[in-house]
């Protein structure tokens, strides 16, 4: 143990249970009962489950183990933990913390909505069961909608903020006060509070699920939830939101799990706990999905009975209002509605509170670790600052902004990028083997080398692909600026060559006599060249056909408008690294000991190999730039797939990646370290490979036809749904049983037993 850590008694959890529950408490939150169902409902329906489960297993769980091991190994909150690797890495730690700060400005706002609705439900109970949004049939739908948007939010469309809604300010203050009192005493109290805030919502959730499943029509909801419409998988948004949701739901990449693990006893298990927590979080989301969709099925059934043949996918408005419009409506239709509504919002509040304070705790611990300032002073200041920023969202236009900013922070630009950085830094630049051995030395079961490869290769490639996929998509869709040139008569039909016309028709688009296009594939775009060789990019956006004019690159003609929400969202995610750098430059109270200074004595190996790998990795990077420059990306992507040079470059990238990986494996030993060339070569090569895969996906996308046919109302589960259901139960029940079995085995073998007072020797790795 480092002397500096001995000199200061770091706080710790009371018990393994306390830690596991606190981590579960952080992970399981509004993200499960509010976020998961609404994201699934908005992006892909049942098909969302597939990328979600994949991302959970391949990305989420390994990163959770990674965060636990780095936090526990260094016993520091995120920034200092990363700093142990190299002083520049501290930026990565702050990056996550700043993202957590952005979330802490709006997460309590949603909590505030829940508190208000909890209040309305309690009033309802005393009012003889009348909820303020009650109403039957279509009238009930309108009532619930109006109640939330008009009466409660005073909602106003557009980007203007409007005036502050005092009726939301009060519950927001209550939320912050609750969070404050939960953590001001330190983590030991947190370890106790979560014994209440974790099991209680589960009980509520079970009641709601049983209630939902016993509703007539619930099967329709389940068919929607469990029977995927496969073509949804061809849409990038389905993947994007599924991966983002995994990070958000597991509280990964915000520094929280690092901080929580840093409070853990030296001897406690890491791998098994990470697995248990991830599975518990997934189980909660899944069951929440059952409750929500069964209820929506019931809602659809009632509407159909009233003569409106609506399907589950259209019965409610999708988006973050799902929990505050559709659910209250559905609850109001049931007997004892006020009671069930009470249960629902009580579950949301208890779920949300421990997640919210985990964010505060992580930011707090990072500041305290760095500056040595007193918790009792930092916490109230932090709470006040968070609350003040929160006021932006409790304005009339605030709900729109909440949705936009959440989309950015929890999307590819925010959180997935941070996860990518984390894996790259720890996988390539640091010695991931050290972390693995640290975790293995105290865990109920052992990680193999496969875990290194997941962190170093597989996850960066997946997240990198996602990132480039989105980047290309955004660039080609006029992400920040919209040109107001709606396609109509201004374009002479003659400018469209025969070939292109065929192309359009092949893709299911129609060119009518008066040269207006109906483009059926959402998100598609085509390039048209006129006689003067000017490009016109046609694109269907928000249901209408826009024309983008460009000469050479993108030429933006006047008369358009900035897409303000996207600009602001991008600005915020771009500010995050800026703040991260500034924070990392602030002088800390003491220097964190860095193993790399110890490593300075190690001999550096693999220099030549490293240089070769680096040069190899440069080739595809430059090649791809050349390919993509000068042409618009979708066109380039589609036409390059047939080009052998493209595939050759990709092969070079893969070879460079394999070579660097080999060098890192071979030379990072107990007496030597691999050269920095090899490490950076590895990073560059993984980035190359992901960019290539993104281009391939983009190229293929042109060929996929996304069906927009309406399907009949489904009220039976298909074979596929049973397979999905089986897989989910296997993951949840089989997984948990396995975890407990391994824990028991380890306990019997004398490992994994808690020695709260014992301080282990940590320099052994
Ligand atoms: N995981 C929490 C949820 O699902 C949210 C959260 C995100 C908490 C990030 C902490 C950090 O609601």
pLDDT digits (tens, 9 = 90+) for 683-698: 999 999 999 998 888 8
Q: Given this model, what pLDDT does residue 554 score?
A: 31
Residues 84 and 41 in one domain: yes
Residues 522 and 449 in one domain: no
Give the tokens for residue 174. 């209550």
Find the domain containing 699 and state its range.
605-717
Centre of ligand 1 from the C-alpha of residue 346, in Å: 18
Residues 146 and 243 in one domain: yes
Interacting residues of 649 by C-beta distance below 8 A, sequence separation 6+: 619, 620, 623, 624, 692
Q: Give how many domains the chain has, as a whole number.
A: 3
| CA atoms of 659 and 422, how far apart (whole Å) | 21
- Within the chain, what is the greatest distance between any pair of CA atoms? 83
Residues 636 and 549 in one domain: no
Closest CA to 92 of 469, 519, 577: 577
Residue corresponding to tokens 């009671």: 339
Q: At what angle do helices 271-305 and 61-74 cross, to 10 degrees?
A: 140
Residues 335 and 419 in one domain: yes
In-domain check, residue 169: yes
Q: pLDDT digit string (tens) for 739-762?
A: 999 988 888 876 444 443 333 333
Centre of ligand 1 from the C-alpha of residue 457, in Å: 26
Residue by residue, DSSP assigns 672-689 as EEE-HHHHHHHHHHHHHH
Where is pLDDT greater, at 567 or 627?
A: 567
Residue corresponding to tokens 């028709």: 505
Centre of ligand 1 from the C-alpha of residue 659, in Å: 38
Q: What single-letter DSSP state applies at residue 541? A: E
Q: pLDDT digit string (tens) for 47-73?
A: 999 999 999 999 999 999 999 999 999
- Asked whether the predicted pLDDT for residue 702 surpasses 70, the reply is no
Pocket test residue of 26, 102, 111 for ligand 1, highest count of atoms within 8 A of CB: 26
Centre of ligand 1 from the C-alpha of residue 77, in Å: 17
Closest CA to 252 of 374, 21, 71: 71
Ligand 1 binding pocket (C-beta < 6 A) is: 26-27, 29-32, 100, 103, 248-249, 251, 254, 256, 355, 358-359
In-domain check, residue 270: yes
For the CA of 248, the closest atom of ligand 1 is: 7
Pocket test residue of 24, 31, 281, 366 for ligand 1, highest count of atoms within 8 A of CB: 31
CA-angle at 166, arms to 160 and 170, nearest 5°: 130
Centre of ligand 1 from the C-alpha of residue 252, in Å: 8
Give the residue-averaged pLDDT of 655-667: 90
Q: What residue owns the CA closest to ligand 1's atom 9?
A: 251
Residues 448 and 494 in one domain: no
Centre of ligand 1 from the C-alpha of residue 359, in Å: 8
Residues 143 and 103 in one domain: yes
Q: pLDDT digit string (tens) for 564-598?
A: 888 888 888 889 999 999 988 887 776 666 555 55
In-domain check, residue 448: yes
How many of the other CB atoms lie within 10 Å of CB of 79?
Answer: 29
Centre of ligand 1 from the C-alpha of residue 354, in Å: 9
In-domain check, residue 346: yes
Residues 512 and 637 in one domain: no
Q: What residue owns the CA closest to ligand 1's atom 11?
A: 251
Cβ 343 vs Cβ 208: under 8 Å: yes
Task: Tell me which of 154-168, 483-497, 525-539 is least confident.
Answer: 483-497
Residues 490 and 458 in one domain: no
Centre of ligand 1 from the C-alpha of residue 45, in Å: 22
CATH code, 32: 1.20.1740
User: Model pTM?
Assistant: 0.84
Residue by residue, DSSP assigns 222-289 as HHHHHS--GGGGGSHHHHHHHHHHHHHHTTTTSSHHHHHHHTS-TT--SHHHHHHHHHHHHHHHHHHH
In-domain check, residue 609: yes
Q: What residue owns the CA closest to ligand 1's atom 6?
A: 251
Q: pLDDT digit string (tens) for 420-462?
A: 999 999 999 888 888 999 999 888 888 989 999 999 999 999 9
Residues 28 and 115 in one domain: yes
Q: Given this model, what pLDDT does residue 276 score?
A: 92
Share of the chain above pLDDT 90, in %: 34
List alpha helices for 333-479, DSSP H. 337-371, 375-390, 398-409, 417-424, 432-440, 449-453, 459-476
Q: Given this model, what pLDDT does residue 638 score?
A: 65
Q: pLDDT digit string (tens) for 221-257?
A: 999 999 898 888 888 788 888 999 999 999 999 989 9
Residues 268 and 215 in one domain: yes
In-domain check, residue 737: no
């Amino acid at each position: 143990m480092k002397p500096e850590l001995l000199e200061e008694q770091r706080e710790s959890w009371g018990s393994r249970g306390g830690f596991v529950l606190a981590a579960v408490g952080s992970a399981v939150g509004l993200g499960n009962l509010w976020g998961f169902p609404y994201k699934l409902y908005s992006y892909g329906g049942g098909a969302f489950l597939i990328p979600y489960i994949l991302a959970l297993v391949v990305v989420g769980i390994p990163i959770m183990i990674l965060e636990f091991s780095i936090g526990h190994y260094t016993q520091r909150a995120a920034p200092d933990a990363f700093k142990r690797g190299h002083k520049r890495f501290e930026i990565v730690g702050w990056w996550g913390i700043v993202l957590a700060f952005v979330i802490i400005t709006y997460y309590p706002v949603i909590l505030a909505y829940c508190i208000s609705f909890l209040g309305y439900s309690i009033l309802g109970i005393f009012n003889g069961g009348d909820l303020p949004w009650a109403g039957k049939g279509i009238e009930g739908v309108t009532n619930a909608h109006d109640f939330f948007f008009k009466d409660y939010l005073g909602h106003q469309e557009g980007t203007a903020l409007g005036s502050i809604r005092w009726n939301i300010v009060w519950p927001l203050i209550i939320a912050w006060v609750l969070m404050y009192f939960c953590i001001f005493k330190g983590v030991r109290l947190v370890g106790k509070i979560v014994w209440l805030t974790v099991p209680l919502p589960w009980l509520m959730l079970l009641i709601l699920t049983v209630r939902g499943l016993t509703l007539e029509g619930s099967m329709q909801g389940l068919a929607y939830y469990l029977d995927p419409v496969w073509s949804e998988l061809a849409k990038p948004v389905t993947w994007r939101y599924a991966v983002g949701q995994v990070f958000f739901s597991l509280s990964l990449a915000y520094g929280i799990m690092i901080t929580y693990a840093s409070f853990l006893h030296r001897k406690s298990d890491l791998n098994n706990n990470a697995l248990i927590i991830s599975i518990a979080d997934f189980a909660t989301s899944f069951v929440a999905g059952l409750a929500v969709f069964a209820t929506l099925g019931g809602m659809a059934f009632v509407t159909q009975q009233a003569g409106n043949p609506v399907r589950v996918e259209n019965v409610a408005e999708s988006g973050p209002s799902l929990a505050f419009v559709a659910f209250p409506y559905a609850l109001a239709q049931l007997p004892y509605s006020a009671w069930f509504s009470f249960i629902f919002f009580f579950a949301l509040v208890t779920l949300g509170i421990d997640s919210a304070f985990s964010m505060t705790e992580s930011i707090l611990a990072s500041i305290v670790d760095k500056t040595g300032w007193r918790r009792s002073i930092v916490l109230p200041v932090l709470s006040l600052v968070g609350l003040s920023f929160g006021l932006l969202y409790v304005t009339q236009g605030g709900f729109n902004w909440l949705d936009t900013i959440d989309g950015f922070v929890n999307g590819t630009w925010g959180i997935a990028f941070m996860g990518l950085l984390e894996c790259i830094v720890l996988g390539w630049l640091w010695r991931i083997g050290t972390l693995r051995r640290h975790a293995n030395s105290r865990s109920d079961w052992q990680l193999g080398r496969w875990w290194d490869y997941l962190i170093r290769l597989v996850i960066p490639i997946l997240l990198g692909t996602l990132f480039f996929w989105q980047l290309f998509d955004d660039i080609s869709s006029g992400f920040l600026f919209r040109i107001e040139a709606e396609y109509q008569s201004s374009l002479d039909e003659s400018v469209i060559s025969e070939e292109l016309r065929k192309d359009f028709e092949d893709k299911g688009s129609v060119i009518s006599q008066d040269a207006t296009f109906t483009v059926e594939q959402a998100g598609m775009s085509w390039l048209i060249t006129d006689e003067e060789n000017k490009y016109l990019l046609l694109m269907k956006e928000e249901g209408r056909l826009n024309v983008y004019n460009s000469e050479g690159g993108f030429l933006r003609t006047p008369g358009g408008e900035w897409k303000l929400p996207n600009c602001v969202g991008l600005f915020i995610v771009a500010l995050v690294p800026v703040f991260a750098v500034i924070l990392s430059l602030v002088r800390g109270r003491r220097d964190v000991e860095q193993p790399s200074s110890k490593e300075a004595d190690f001999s550096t190996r693999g220099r030549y190999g490293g240089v070769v790998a680096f040069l190899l990795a440069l080739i595809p990077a430059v090649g791809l730039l050349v390919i993509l420059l000068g042409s618009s990306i979708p066109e380039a992507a589609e036409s390059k797939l047939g080009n052998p040079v493209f595939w050759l470059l990709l092969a070079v990238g893969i070879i460079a990646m394999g070579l660097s990986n080999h060098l890192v494996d071979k030379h990072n030993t107990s007496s030597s370290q691999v050269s920095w060339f090899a490490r950076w070569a590895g990073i560059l090569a993984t980035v190359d490979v992901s960019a290539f895969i993104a281009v391939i996906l983009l190229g293929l996308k042109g060929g996929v036809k996304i069906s927009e046919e309406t399907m009949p109302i489904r009220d039976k589960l298909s074979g596929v749904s049973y397979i999905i259901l089986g897989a989910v139960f296997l993951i949840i029940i089989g997984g948990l049983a396995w975890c407990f079995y391994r824990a028991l085995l380890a306990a019997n073998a004398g490992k994994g037993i808690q020695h709260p007072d014992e301080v282990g020797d940590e320099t052994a790795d």
